[in-house]
Amino acid sequence: MAEHGRKSVWGYVGIWGVLVVLTVATWLLGTRGHLGHWSLPVALGIALTKTALVAMFFMHLVEQPGARRVVFPVSALFLALLLGLSLVEAMTRVRMARPDGPKALEPVRPASTRTAPPGSPTRRVGH
C-alpha cells in the first residue's frame, strides 16, 4: 500500500474554490448567457473540467500509481467517442420522405361541417 504524504488543506480549498467558480459560470451561462450555438459546447466543457477536478483530486486519482491513473482518461475518451458517434449519426440522419406528402396527415372534413372563422361575413348567426 502506498504511503500517503501529508496533504495541504489549502490545495483542496483552492480546488473547491475553482469548482464553485465553475458552478457559478454554468449558472450564469444558463440564465444570462446568450452564446447561441456555443452554449452547449461551453457548458459541456465546464462540466468536463469539474468532473476531471473531482476525479483527480477528491477521488485521489492523481496519487494512484500506474494503470489506475490511466482509467479515468481512457474512460472519458470512450465516452466522448460514444457520444460523438451518436451525435454524428443523429446529425446525418436522412429524413424519410412520404409519397403522399404532408397534407395527407390532416384529415379532410366534409364541406357541411366546416365553419367560417370568427368575424367573417359568411359566418352564420346562431351557430
Q: What is the pLDDT of residues 84-106, one digit of tens each?
A: 899 888 888 877 666 666 565 66
35: DSSP letter = -
pLDDT top residue among 92 and 122 = 92
Does 111 reside within a domain? Answer: no
**1 pLDDT higher than 50:** no
Residue type, 8: S
Does 125 reside within a domain? Answer: no
- CA nearest 18: which of 63, 51, 60? 51
30-87 pLDDT, tens digit per residue, is 888 888 888 888 988 999 899 989 988 888 888 888 888 888 888 889 988 998 899 8
Does 114 reside within a domain? Answer: no
Name the residue range of residue 77's domain: 37-61+72-96
What's the domain count of the chain? 1
Does 4 reside within a domain? Answer: no
* pTM, rounded to two decimals: 0.57
Does 1 reside within a domain? Answer: no
**C-alpha distances in angstroms, 13 versus 16, 17, 26?**
5, 6, 20
Does 86 reside within a domain? Answer: yes
The pLDDT score that the predictor gives to residue 106 is 62
Does 91 reside within a domain? Answer: yes
**C-alpha distances in angstroms, 120 versus 69, 110, 111, 115, 117?**
74, 20, 17, 10, 6
Does 21 reside within a domain? Answer: no
